A and B are shown apart, each in its own frame.
Chain A
């Protein structure tokens, strides 16, 4: 018996020594791959896996599971990944309600969480955690930039609308944080609503000079198509979510000319981005989206930390992540005191290139923007 244990130990030591000095890193990716919103998860996954493939690092293993956009399933998957798969790092969640269900528990168990999308305010302020890093944005950021752009565009009387749920309320709060004009109206729709005839009639009657809306996914497609058909031609501003590569083809001409705010666009002229856009298209045969760029950056952040520190040395690995020493596709990127990005947020315009609808960068709406909650974070 004793001999056997010794042998096992020796064998174990030999194999780990053979693999190099670093412990391999196991990543659990929980993301939305089926049902509504699957397009977002698929883009995050594809972006992430592209970076993993390009790095060719044998010490990185990724397990991918589908949360079906359901918080209870996301929690089960996280438990399974932490307990039986023994992952070191979790990532992948798209939606804020799922993020809230998984992240606090995962970080409390000593796992790292790298968010490629969801950035709820609760995790940026008092609920911040040293092991939680957001590689996308704080939820308010793109809306704040839309508000800043509205001032620049000379809007004085905006009609603002969003669905009646936490991210919708955050969106309008974010817009109002920077927007200086008056409000022609403020409206909360039902979440998942697809008919906006009533809201559009009110916009027409309100005397507004512009419209800001945050309606994620199919809601935004419906709104834009109906808005275009209604004959109301006030300028529209929104966050990139409703104008991203994955859904622009479904909106079609109705989106042309709309200004939207984003921390990334495919035409950003930095070497990392040029290479990313080209290799993503070559690999998957479609243009990358915002979400794909976020997945790609998340993987590269992780790889940069793996090059500097061992994942079993939590302190060192955390410090290596915090340095954010990787070439982000969005250009300058660093972490603020609450491990959320400090980055430029751009204004884009929807254009048509051949028969593909896409975005063109117009300029910077907010420079080196952190977020409104960083001061509340104590860590």
Chain B
């Protein structure tokens, strides 16, 4: 394997990683602050993708599509928080899992009802549609590079929000002791709605960005949701830093595993056998990583035990 191919694969892993971070950040905020397991987080990702595809299709503008994705996912998030999720904070996790699983079904069938059963089309914006040439003659899709940029910018903004702003202080305080911050006069209901909508907007943004690369279809959120859960388990529940490191680790492990493992087995096995064994092991690589992390740090890399 050449160095250029390796660098390209590292970039691919990075891009996949920042995407996962956008998903996992919202999930871990909601879990960390409110103690809520939200299985419907993947549905908000789908809502973002569908809103982007519908608006970009109608207006021809990808940027408007992105704005619509953010708005629609945040609105959907705020709506379910106020009407349904709010009733679940005090319940145990099993009730939360059941109720949010029901939300997945409602969102999926609702989306099908509005948009039909066939996948929608969302195109990469024309300015980013081709490959760009990076140093060392690496050809890399411009759009994926833009995703890496957007993801890193959002990660930086989130760190700033949590570490430096008043609302960040409230979020961190709410994570540590929710009675105390309520006693200090913070409107905890409003704070929770805000955090939930923020997490939803991040998921919606991820959905819209990925929608242009992949297919916009009903049920697209569930596979990503599983990966996002793996990310927060690896990173440590409730930790934004953990979500970031976990997401990049998972993105790189998955991408490099897929390319390097078959090659590595190819040195000792015959080609078709190496492909089969390598591919099978590559599908498991992230779960092996998760198991490995949990053996040494049961609460995740940055989790408080």
Chain A residues within 8 Å of B, Cβ to Cβ: 34-36, 38-39, 42, 164, 186-190, 192, 194-195, 197-199, 201-202, 204-205, 217-218, 221-222, 225-226, 229-231, 246-247, 249-253
CB-defined contacts of A186 to chain B, threshold 8 Å: 271-272, 275
Contact of A164 among B2, B5, B216, B280 (CB under 8 A): B280
7 residue pairs, one from A and one from B, having the closest CB atoms? A221-B215, A231-B131, A250-B119, A218-B215, A197-B12, A222-B214, A188-B279
CB-defined contacts of B259 to chain A, threshold 8 Å: 198, 201-202
Query: By the criterion CB–CB under 8 Å, are B218 and A36 in contact?
Result: yes
Contact of B112 among A38, A188, A231 (CB under 8 A): A38
B70-78, B94-102, B139-147, B158-166 - the one binding chain A? B139-147
B23-31, B82-90, B122-130, B229-237 - the one binding chain A? B122-130
Query: By the criterion CB–CB under 8 Å, are A35 and B218 in contact?
Result: yes
Query: By the criterion CB–CB under 8 Å, are B214 and A218 in contact?
Result: yes
Query: By the criterion CB–CB under 8 Å, are B279 and A34 in contact?
Result: no
Q: How far is the CB of B252 from chain A (nearest CB, A)?
A: 11
Query: By the criterion CB–CB under 8 Å, are B213 and A225 in contact?
Result: yes
Contact of A39 among B117, B121, B213 (CB under 8 A): B117
Query: By the criterion CB–CB under 8 Å, are A192 and B223 in contact?
Result: yes
Q: Quick one: closest B residue to A192, CB to CB?
A: B223
Once the chains are docked, how many angstroms separate the CA of A39 from the CA of B219?
13
Q: How large is the interface on B (under 10, 10 to 19, 20 to 34, 35 or more residues)?
A: 35 or more
Query: By the criterion CB–CB under 8 Å, are A205 and B15 in contact?
Result: no
CB-defined contacts of B144 to chain A, threshold 8 Å: 197, 229
- Given A187-B262, A221-B215, output 11 extra A-B contacts at Cβ < 8 Å: A39-B117, A164-B279, A197-B255, A198-B9, A198-B258, A204-B139, A222-B213, A225-B213, A229-B129, A246-B118, A249-B121
Query: By the criterion CB–CB under 8 Å, are A194 and B223 in contact?
Result: yes
Once the chains are docked, how many angstroms separate the CA of A218 from the CA of B97?
27
Query: By the criterion CB–CB under 8 Å, are A247 and B271 in contact?
Result: no
Query: Does B61 touch A at the CB level, under 8 Å?
Result: no
Q: How far is the CB of B222 from chain A (nearest CB, A)?
A: 9
Q: Quick one: closest A residue to B278, CB to CB?
A: A188
Once the chains are docked, how many angstroms separate the CA of A205 from the CA of B8?
11
CB-defined contacts of B219 to chain A, threshold 8 Å: 35-36
Q: How far is the CB of B89 from chain A (nearest CB, A)?
A: 30
Once the chains are docked, how many angstroms separate the CA of A226 from the CA of B259?
17
CB-defined contacts of B139 to chain A, threshold 8 Å: 204, 230-231
11 example contacts (A-B, Cβ-Cβ < 8 A) are as follows A34-B108, A34-B109, A39-B117, A164-B279, A186-B272, A190-B282, A192-B223, A229-B131, A229-B141, A229-B144, A253-B123
Once the chains are docked, how many angstroms separate the CA of A323 from the CA of B71?
59
Once the chains are docked, how many angstroms separate the CA of A313 from the CA of B160?
77
Main secondary structure of the interface of A (DSSP, over half): helix
A35-B108, A201-B12 in contact; A195/B279 too (CB < 8 A)?
Answer: no
Contact of B279 among A38, A42, A189, A252 (CB under 8 A): A189
Query: By the criterion CB–CB under 8 Å, are A202 and B5 in contact?
Result: yes
CB-defined contacts of B141 to chain A, threshold 8 Å: 197, 226, 229-231
Once the chains are docked, how many angstroms separate the CA of A366 from the CA of B41?
47
Query: Does B220 touch A at the CB level, under 8 Å?
Result: yes
The listed residue with most B CB atoms (<10 A of its CB), out of A204, A217, A226, A229, is: A229
Once the chains are docked, how many angstroms separate the CA of A164 from the CA of B119?
23
Once the chains are docked, how many angstroms separate the CA of A222 from the CA of B224?
14
Q: Quick one: closest A residue to B220, CB to CB?
A: A218
Query: By the criterion CB–CB under 8 Å, are B16 and A195 in contact?
Result: yes
Query: By the criterion CB–CB under 8 Å, are A197 and B5 in contact?
Result: no
Query: By the criterion CB–CB under 8 Å, are A194 and B275 in contact?
Result: no
Once the chains are docked, how many angstroms separate the CA of A194 from the CA of B46?
14
Query: Does B193 touch A at the CB level, under 8 Å?
Result: no
CB-defined contacts of A222 to chain B, threshold 8 Å: 213-215
Contact of A188 among B118, B119, B220, B275 (CB under 8 A): B275
Once the chains are docked, how many angstroms separate the CA of A324 from the CA of B8?
54
Once the chains are docked, how many angstroms separate the CA of A189 from the CA of B117?
25
CB-defined contacts of B217 to chain A, threshold 8 Å: 36, 217-218, 221, 250
Once the chains are docked, how many angstroms separate the CA of A36 from the CA of B109?
11
Q: How far is the CB of A325 from chain B (nearest CB, A)?
A: 33
Query: By the criterion CB–CB under 8 Å, are B12 and A198 in contact?
Result: yes
CB-defined contacts of A192 to chain B, threshold 8 Å: 223
Once the chains are docked, how many angstroms separate the CA of A205 from the CA of B5?
7
Query: Does B120 touch A at the CB level, under 8 Å?
Result: yes
Q: Would you list which residues of chain B between 252 and 285 have a CB under 8 Å from chain A?
A: 255, 258-259, 262, 271-272, 275-276, 279-280, 282-283
Q: How far is the CB of A69 from chain B (nearest CB, A)?
A: 10
